[in-house]
Amino acid sequence: MSARPLSSSSRPPTRRLFAVVLLAGLPGVAAFAGLAIPAALGDQVLPVPLWWVMAGVGLQSGLLLAAAAAAGAVLAPRVGLHAPMCEALAARGRPWSVLRPQIRPGLIGGLACAVALLGLDLVGPVGLRAAQTAVPLPGVVRVLYGGLTEEVLMRWGVMTVLVWLGWRLLQRGRGRPAPALVAAGIGASALVFGLAHLPALQGVLGPLPLALALPVVGAHGLVGVVTGWLFHRHGLEAAMVAHASARLLGWAVGP
């Protein structure tokens, strides 16, 4: 059973829903460009001013976010995926009443995600732990970019597109997507999410051996499965609560 959508009479226009979801992810883009990039570059001498690099990263991330927000706004309602609070805001409804049921499952899911990420820190290869501590990532970036922006990109964007593609190709767009199609979309988007964490580590460590890459993909893939299921079952905001709370807990007690 997926998140309960607004009634068809109160469903917001696609453009308004796109704008609300985009705004939800922008704080993470700003935090990443404004805080993570200076921390990663440190005292390096750059051929251009630092603010150029920050602006370029922010623009690139913002365009990807906009594409994901647009894809989800158009396709998610067609396959029974929803962002209840964003939809309520876009429809000028009562957002807090639809957010409240998502908080508890989101926090429970966040605990499961935190266990996976902390387990990676505690029992993962020594080289991985060294790489993660080489460039301290501000906690606000972890929470805002991970909890908000990544969920718009990976669940609202990638997972929605994958479920829609399967629905169109295998069910010819008829009825609701079969549970197997939804599960495949959750799994495939989780794999993409896990793989997306490898380039940053490669930037620090160089080519990654399989013994280093597999735990990274596995742990973050598990996070993707949990948040993908929450998105399907409760709504995008439940996935955001889970991811943000996991990042907050991991930042508080991990390296």
pLDDT, position 245: 96
Whole-model pTM: value is 0.91
Are the beta carbons of 87 and 11 closer than 8 angstroms?
Answer: yes
Q: Provide the pLDDT for residue 46.
A: 83
The predicted pLDDT at position 1 comes to 45
Question: Can you list the alpha helix ranges (DSSP code H) found in 76-209?
Answer: 84-90, 95-123, 126-134, 139-141, 150-151, 160-170, 179-195, 198-205
Inter-CA distances, 121 with 15, 67, 110, 124, 127, Å: 41, 32, 16, 6, 11
Cβ–Cβ contacts within 10 Å for residue 151, how many?
33
The Cα 231–Cα 249 span in angstroms is 21
- Divide the 255 residues of the chain into consecutive groups of 10 and give the mean pLDDT of each group: 51 91 97 90 84 94 98 96 96 90 96 88 68 70 95 98 97 95 98 91 75 86 97 98 93 69
The per-residue pLDDT for 200 is: 77
Which letter does DSSP use for residue 171 in this model?
S
- Closest C-alpha to 83, from 9, 148, 179, 174: 148
